[in-house]
Chains A and B, each alone.
Chain A
Amino acid sequence: MGHDTSMLVLIAVLTLSFIAGSFGLILGYAAIRFKVEGNPIVDQIDAVLPQTQCGQCGFAGCRPYAEAIAKGEAPINQCPPGGESTIVALADLLDTEVLELNAEHGEHSEVPLVAVIDEMNCIGCTLCIQACPVDAILGSAKHMHTIIESECTGCELCLPPCPVDCIDMIPIKQTLADWKWPEPKTLSPNESTEMTHG
């Protein structure tokens, strides 16, 4: 009887090993054969970030922040311009939990802002031009500067360098064409957020 049992155990072990081994081979082959050539994760994160290049996250622009997130060195809730939608998108992409925006880095403004130079007071010092991360300011030394509104990301980086404090942030004027239908009120207000993760 002892002999039979050990024989059975041996057969079971061998069978299972064989099955495990062959599945391992299949999986290994599939991993090579069907390898997905995806965007490197940094690019995907960078694509989600709003590209204001404002540095509010504590990194020198969106790309460095994306790199930090990819390495796991920074949490996903440090981007005030992106706000909740960016955090949700990042959580979705990285399959992590949705976090509240970290208030230490600033507040999310629902209305997009653009910088405007008060051209009467501009002394032409070019400091703001050097600060603008997206080259959205035109002008040269001792000449008045102006901001290309369509290219301004509203990062506010030009505000601190200005020696005469002549740059203001104003909300982008909403036109009829920008207007969106609001979401209908739901029967139960929390339902939509609950269902997002369902």
Chain B
Amino acid sequence: MADSVYKFHGGLHLDEHKAESLTQPLQVASLADEIIIRVSQHIGEPNTPVIETGDTVKRGQLLAESSAFVSAPVHASTSGTIKAIEERAIAHASGQKAECFILIPDGKDEVFEQPENSYQKNDLQKSDLLAMIRLAGIVGLGGAVFPTAAKLTTAIKHGIKTLIINGAECEPYITCDDVLMQNNAADIFKGITYLQTILQPEQTIIGIEDNKPAAIQAMQQALADTSLANTRVTSIPTLYPSGGEKQLIKLLTGLEVHSSQLSFEIGILCQNVGTCAAIAKAIDECQPLTSRIVTVTGPGVNNPGNWLTPLGTPVSHLIQLAGGYKVKQPKLIMGGPMMGLTLESDQIPVVKATNTILVLDHLDQPEVNECIRCGSCTEVCPVQLLPQQLYWYSKTHQFDLTESYHLFDCIECGCCSAVCPSHIPLVQYYRHAKGEIWQQRKNTYKSDRARKRHEFREARIARQKQLDEERRQQKREALAKKKAAEQATKATQSDNSPAGQTVDAVQAALERVKARKKAQQVDPKNTSNLTDEQQRQIDEANARRNKTTADDA
């Protein structure tokens, strides 16, 4: 812990509320009556189902995939029957629905025999590891759900000097990574070993906030048990949002990722501890990602804790495991209180991105006042933006100005909203502004294309017109010439000049054509051993052909 830790601007000390869900040990969640597996659970191109309604599946069996580079397949999280593939409520701020597999478990939880692969277990190459990570459907479990294989593949091209393992878990209430580090530190290090094989980094730093001493100790113990070189566990001060990728990189290395860059462009790659454990499972046990640890906590639930949950388990089932609701009108949030999103119902399933189900007893909707430019937001912004300016321009729809105040560097961490004395929903203003700008960009792209196509069409029509005009002109000229020539002929006929010759020339040309046609006449083939019938048909055909030739002539 002697490692120097750097600082980022701003940040907030929040009430942690982590102890509640750490009172009971990690448990394995029982199977729900109905498992709802979203077809696409990652950022990127959507998946297409490969399983049909009525099929029986086993745990780990592929359900949906996409051939796109930035995609991750999904698998069945237990054995059973696919009752339907239909639109169900999902965790999305829009409250819209999305396509899901409805899996009725048979209770046997049989494991699917993964198709034989050619990988030699003890001699895995980079590409083998990457392929296995991709096939296992692993995505960033920190919440971004970016397909891990795609991230790694891109990172390799840039060359990675520093591998950072994110165990910061800076948001209040969430303890799933803490519990994972305490219980499965060895698995995490197995995953890290594979990542090191893939990336060959010069150093590996595991960053954990200092409010998790048990996790830090477990990780240090596990590290000592391995023989990993240039790898260290670093405790970082508890300060939200230390777990933000760029913030963590700054804390651990002092390097700042440029606003337009991704971290691997400066030779750094971040992976969440959960992702590392999933990688270990995918490679050692050939098991795809079908479950994850979910924290169920908050003042609205009776027995908060952590459960190893099959993906697709409805939230209601987890709440039941946690002793049910404590309050009459619980407010459900998927994720932490700073960056999570509210759930409309508890029938929404757990997905790869679900780290926490937070049950609040109420959602404050304080009165919003005007911005008094107090500047509290600028003090806490970890990106050192000027949130009050961004708010001003977002509110007045001067979106180009929000961009010049670096709207797109905003990580939506919520610090500004959490300190605003006027209780302005600042983050929502920024999200709205971002959406509008994306929409505008899309519209501009579309209208530019339409303009080009329209201009091209106009040009084409104009050219066609011109060509037609030219052709007509040529015809007219030709006609005029012909007329002139005829008149000339008439005029010169009396002179006995080459009129006769002209006629002769025409005659000669016709003769030549005739001769050529004759020459082109196909020589009869396969004429030996013909029956009488065949000979008759051939004669008839020849007669017809000669007739037409004669007609032509």
Contacts and interface: CB of A to CB of B under 8 A. Distances in A.
A and B touch in the complex (CB under 8 A): yes
Interface of A: 46, 49-53, 61-62, 133-136, 151, 153, 176, 179-187, 191-192, 195-196, 198
A187 B428 CA distance: 15
A187 B453 contact: no
A49 to B, nearest CB: 8
B549 to A, nearest CB: 34
B441 to A, nearest CB: 12
- The 8 A-B pairs of least Cβ separation, nearest first, read A180-B435, A181-B431, A51-B447, A51-B450, A134-B453, A179-B94, A51-B451, A184-B425
Interface residues of B, number: 34
Contact of B370 (A46, A187, A198): A187
A133 B457 contact: yes
A12 to B, nearest CB: 47
A183 B429 contact: yes
Contacts of B432: 180-184
Nearest to B422: A187
A50 B447 contact: yes
A196 B396 contact: yes
B395 A61 contact: no
Contact of A134 (B94, B96, B398, B457): B457
8 contacts: A62-B451, A133-B457, A136-B453, A181-B93, A184-B424, A196-B396, A196-B397, A198-B396
A151 B449 contact: yes
Nearest to B95: A179
Contact of A187 (B369, B397, B398, B436): B369
Interface string B91-107: 01110101000000000
Contacts of A185: 368
A195 B395 contact: yes
Given A179-B94, A184-B429, A46 B451 contact: yes
B450 A53 contact: yes
A32 B446 CA distance: 37
B439 interface: yes
B443 interface: yes
Contacts of B425: 184
Contacts of B481: none
A83 to B, nearest CB: 11
B486 interface: no
B448 interface: yes
A181 B453 contact: no
Given A151-B449, A176-B92, A196-B397, A184 B454 contact: no
B453 A135 contact: yes
A198 B395 CA distance: 12
Given A62-B451, A134-B450, A192-B397, A176 B457 contact: no
B451 A181 contact: no
A140 to B, nearest CB: 16
Nearest to A194: B396
A62 B435 CA distance: 26
B346 to A, nearest CB: 21
Interface string B450-472: 11011011000000000000000
B465 to A, nearest CB: 14
Given A192-B396, A195-B396, 17 more contacts: A46-B451, A51-B446, A51-B450, A52-B450, A133-B454, A133-B457, A136-B453, A179-B93, A179-B96, A184-B425, A184-B432, A185-B368, A186-B395, A187-B370, A191-B395, A192-B395, A198-B396
A150 B446 CA distance: 8
A179 B341 CA distance: 15
Contacts of B448: 51
A181 B429 CA distance: 8
Contacts of B435: 179-181
A151 B436 CA distance: 21
Contacts of A46: 451
A51 B446 CA distance: 9
